[in-house]
Amino acid sequence: MVKIITSKQAVQFFKSGQTIMIGGFLTCGSPNMVIDELLKTDIGGFTLIANDTSTSTTDRGKLVVAHKLKKALVSHIGTNPETVAQMNAGQLEVELVPQGTLAERVRAGGAGLGGILTPVGLNTDVAKNKRLINVDGKDFLLETPLTADVALVYATYADKYGNLAFYGSTRNFNAIMPLAAKTVIVEVDQFSETPLNPNNIVVPGIFVDYLIIRGTDVANG
């Protein structure tokens, strides 16, 4: 059985300077309970891997406002003016990654691959300082895999074994980040002692270390 912890207990797995992945697409399927607890600490200097930096008042965006990040690898920042301001002021390093490339780099990290080859970004700023590989007369960029110390993600459903399932588009990056992190913490809406239907499982419990149950936020020992 997977261990159920509280959002306060989850903070112990975060250390300053870590690389962290946080799931969600803006506020869709975004974890927030642990983020709120991190804001109460002096832990920071994170490298964030996420789809975006959300808004200045929600989930990942709050970490930006609190100056908890030193770098962000994301596909866009336009919905959070604070991210733009800190980037322009030289306070936050931002690496903009095409969204599909970002997903595949995370997937490559989880699969133990050496990277992916993609034509996306050729002859643009995306290609700067990256290795160019020619395959059968076509050029591709070598994009390196992404991994993290901790992944904080959301799931709609989880069972006692840590198997995860999602409602609609909440699966987004939440479905692939658990494969690419050393420690995986999941905030879940609906928890079941009964195993989920195998046909509905998106993330097998073998990838999940800890669950936080929204609405109760209590531990199981």
Domains and CATH numbers, the chain: 3-114+146-213 (3.40.1080.10)
What is the rounded radius of gyration, in angstroms, for the C-alpha atoms of the chain? 18
Give the confidence band of 221 by pLDDT, cuts at 50, 70, 90. low
What is the rounded average pLDDT for all residues in the chain?
96
Return the pLDDT at 190: 96
Tell me: pLDDT of 120 over 90: yes
Return the pLDDT at 219: 77
Give the confidence band of 58 by pLDDT, cuts at 50, 70, 90. very high
